Structure 1
């Protein structure tokens, strides 16, 4: 592998582990059995990338190699062994944020590799990063973070735009990816630290004119 391929491989492995652990841990909080937790972890890890590949009309990535299945299994073992540590909400948030950031990078890079324009790459980056979390939340019967006022897809968008700027500034591909991932992680951390959120769309009662 060259440097760029090695970089992409590493962030894909780390991103898969991070998202699988976030999914498995959330399933454990809902008292799923081991198999159910494994399924949730796997869907979290591969869901966004699967939709991306289908939209791009390219071979679905996890059907090309068995290691995504194996890595999710290892993630299940990690959660079982270190459950006392992973039970903490901050740890779950950290894994979810890392997975989100790295999958945005993967989504953008894979889209550019098949010669789509950059605006499509940014959308595919958001899809790759955010959709796995949406599917995870649906499976465990939670309201998806994407549809709440939490800074989630917005962080993906910001990371994608930073990737775009870095690309046109002539930075190397690893530097572009790092800049994107750092932006996503920083926005998520700052949003929690300073309680940032998007405005909530409220309805108005047609009789009283009050917000409901």
Structure 2
């Protein structure tokens, strides 16, 4: 007896574009982390791959979907292209904040796409929003651990919060009946705006102060 294959629901052109953009930007941020460590091209490629597909892999495993980069080689190729671009360009082309800005763009795009994909597979909107956060954050967490840097989870800056804004707003707008492309664009821009302001102004959440 054969299992019924799981098919990928139609997501839409805007969300597919967000997935591609998010994959490339996160992969580039992973390659930049390798560049800061002056690693080899192999390490560049590995950092780019695990950063670009890490969050989406965990999401797909949790929602019972085919792992996206296993069934379609395009995301993995996108990651390798991002690594090659960073490897071939001079270090002076990348500012010290380049990783933060690439990460901010990728975070917003991935959070929205992750929530949308989870909803397309019948996941409750509230849980789908959490899947969006997983999609947006796990790749960066893996990157930081590999690079020996403090995980973003242990820093007070608005990172997970920005992903939650993008994913949660998208899910809420879809529940309210807003068209998918409009909901995706509004949610992604909102999450990116919050993350951008946090980077620019140094905003962060207060830490635990109880004695």
TM-score by length of 1: 0.89
Matched, 1:143 2:143: no
Q: CA deviation at 1:19?
A: 0.4
RCO comparison, higher one (Cα < 8 Å, 6+): 2
Tell whether the 8 Å contact from 1:16 to 1:68 is kept in structure 2 after alignment: yes
Matched, 1:78 2:74: no
Q: CA deviation at 1:166?
A: 1.8
Which residue of structure 2 aligns with residue 210 of structure 1? none
Which residue of structure 2 aligns with residue 198 of structure 1? 205
* Aligned partner (choices 92, 107, 111) of residue 104 of structure 1: 111
Correspondences of 1:154-193 after superposition (within 5 Å): 154-193=161-200
Tell whether the 8 Å contact from 1:149 to 1:200 is kept in structure 2 after alignment: yes
Matched, 1:21 2:34: no
Greater Rg by CA: 1
CA distance in structure 1 between the aligned counterparts of 2:11 and 2:123, rounded to whole angstroms: 19
Which residue of structure 2 aligns with residue 52 of structure 1? 59
CA distance in structure 2 between the aligned counterparts of 1:82 and 1:113, rounded to whole angstroms: 39
Correspondences of 1:107-118 after superposition (within 5 Å): 107-118=114-125
* Aligned partner (choices 120, 126, 129) of residue 136 of structure 2: 129
Q: CA deviation at 1:165?
A: 3.0
DSSP-derived class of the 1:201 partner: coil
Point out where structure 2 has 5 or more consecutive residues left out of the alignment.
Answer: 1-9
CA distance in structure 1 between the aligned counterparts of 2:147 and 2:174, rounded to whole angstroms: 38
CA distance in structure 2 between the aligned counterparts of 1:203 and 1:169, rounded to whole angstroms: 39
Which residue of structure 2 aligns with residue 62 of structure 1? 69
Given the superposition, is the C-alpha separation of residues 25 and 69 from structure 1 closer, same or farther in structure 2, using an over 3 Å criterion? same
Report the count of equivalent residues: 202
Matched, 1:152 2:146: no
CA distance in structure 1 between the aligned counterparts of 2:153 and 2:16, rounded to whole angstroms: 27
Q: CA deviation at 1:85?
A: 5.0
CA distance in structure 1 between the aligned counterparts of 2:11 and 2:66, rounded to whole angstroms: 20
CA distance in structure 2 between the aligned counterparts of 1:51 and 1:170, rounded to whole angstroms: 28
* Aligned partner (choices 18, 28, 40) of residue 33 of structure 1: 40
Q: CA deviation at 1:202?
A: 5.0
Instruction: State which drifts further: 192-201 or 30-39.
Output: 192-201
TM-score by length of 2: 0.90
Moved over 6 A (4+): none
DSSP-derived class of the 2:12 partner: helix
CA distance in structure 1 between the aligned counterparts of 2:130 and 2:20, rounded to whole angstroms: 22
Point out where structure 1 has 5 or more consecutive residues left out of the alignment.
Answer: 205-212
